[in-house]
Amino acid sequence: MLRLTCKHLGETLVSQVLRSLTLDINQHTISKEIPKLKAMAMIGVDGNKVDANTTNLSLLGTRELTIRCLTPIFDPSYRCTWSYVDGKSIRNGPEPVVPPAAWKADEELKKYLGRAVGCMTGVSKVRWVRSNFHG
């Protein structure tokens, strides 16, 4: 009976709770988002197979993917203004500081993103939400 209940609970989770997934990778979210991306990419690798006996409901049940940011080196709290002088954009302020962890996360993003998105076979809607952080 417990197995049947868990199956029904899993089906409900897939259809209601796990229906949408958001990727928002920037300097403030890399510690949470990069491990999530890596875990998604590892489906089908090293024995983590998705088959009739083993499923990753969060990926197979995902129908809507929202992308907010895919730039680990981006710091949403960095603010500056720009001027346009003699046909060139000039930053009015210091260059942003990019910590080593953000550069490492950028490499990991390049390594895992394609495979992670490729595992989301049920996605039927993708939204790319434009960032309003650019000062």
Q: Which is more confidently placed, 55 or 86? A: 86
Q: What is the pLDDT of residue 54?
A: 43
Q: How far apart are CA 43 and CA 40, in angstroms?
A: 6
pLDDT(86) > 90: yes
Q: What percent of the chain has pLDDT over 90?
A: 42
pLDDT(17) > 80: no
Q: What are phi and psi of 77, to 5 degrees?
A: -90, -10
Residue 2's contacts (CB-CB under 8 Å, 6 or more residues apart) are: none
Q: Are 59 and 84 in contact (CB under 8 A)?
A: no
**What is the SS3 string spanning 40-65?**
HHCCCCCCCCCCCCCCCHHHHCCCEE
